Chains A and B, each alone.
Chain A
Amino acid sequence: MANKLVSEMRLPPHLAHLLAARRLTTAKDVLSLPEVELMGVLDAGIHTARAAVAHVSEIACPPYQTALALLESVRLGGGGRLATTLRGLDDALSGGIPVGKLTEIVGPSGIGKTQFCLKLALLATLPECYGGLNGRVVYIDTEFKFSSQRIVEIGKKSFPQIFRQEGLAQKMAGRILVVRPTSLSDFTQSLEQMKVTLLQHDVKLLIVDSMAALMSSEIEKSKTGLRQHPLRWALSFLKSIAEFSRIPVVVTNQVRSQSNDDGYHYSFEVEKKGDSNSAEKFESHLVAALGIQFAHAVTIRLVLEAHSGHRFIKVAKSPMSPAVAFPFTVESSGIILLSDEGIDVPGPEITSIRCQGENVLAR
Chain B
Amino acid sequence: MVAGGGRTGAGAGAGAGCFPRRYPLPADEVREKNQDERQGGQFLDGMDLLKDVTENKRFLPTGVQGYPIWIIDALLGGGLRQGQLMEITGQSSSGKTQVCLCSAAHVAARHLGVVVYLDTSNSFSPRRIARMVDVFPISLVNEPKHVRLHRVMSSIICESVFDIFNLFEVLHQLELSLKKKVNNGSSKICLLIIDSISSLLAPIISGKYPQGRSMMLSVAMILKKLADEHNLSVLVTNHMVAGNGAPKPALGESWKTVPHVRLVVSRDRGSNICTATVLKHTLLASDRHCMKFAVPS
Contacts and interface: CB of A to CB of B under 8 A. Distances in A.
A37 B202 CA distance: 12
A36 B270 contact: no
B207 A268 contact: no
B116 to A, nearest CB: 24
Contacts of B203: 34-36
A40 B209 CA distance: 6
A32 to B, nearest CB: 11
A226 to B, nearest CB: 14
Interface in A34-52: 34-37, 39-41, 46
**Majority secondary structure, B binding face:** loop
Interface size class of B (residues with CB under 8 A): 10 to 19
Nearest to B165: A46
A41 B207 CA distance: 11
A39 B215 CA distance: 14
Interface residues of A, number: 11
A325 B222 CA distance: 65
A280 to B, nearest CB: 19
A165 interface: no
Contact of B163 (A35, A37, A268, A270): A35
Contacts of B212: 36
Interface in B233-278: 269-270
Given A34-B203, A35-B203, A36-B203, A267 B269 contact: yes
A270 B268 CA distance: 12
B211 A40 contact: yes
Contact of A40 (B208, B269, B270): B208
A36 B207 CA distance: 9
A46 B211 CA distance: 13
A330 B6 CA distance: 86
Nearest to B207: A37
Contact of B270 (A37, A39, A46, A270): A270
Nearest to A269: B270
Interface string B199-214: 0000110011111100
B204 A268 contact: no
Contacts of B207: 34, 36-37
Interface string B159-189: 0000111000000000000000000000000
A272 to B, nearest CB: 14
B165 A41 contact: no
B106 to A, nearest CB: 29
21 contacts: A34-B203, A34-B204, A34-B209, A35-B163, A36-B203, A36-B207, A36-B209, A36-B211, A36-B212, A37-B208, A37-B209, A39-B209, A40-B208, A40-B209, A40-B210, A40-B211, A41-B208, A46-B165, A267-B269, A268-B270, A270-B270
Interface of B: 163-165, 203-204, 207-212, 269-270
Interface of A: 34-37, 39-41, 46, 267-268, 270
Sorted nearest first, the 4 A-B pairs with minimum C-beta distance are A40-B209, A37-B209, A34-B203, A36-B204
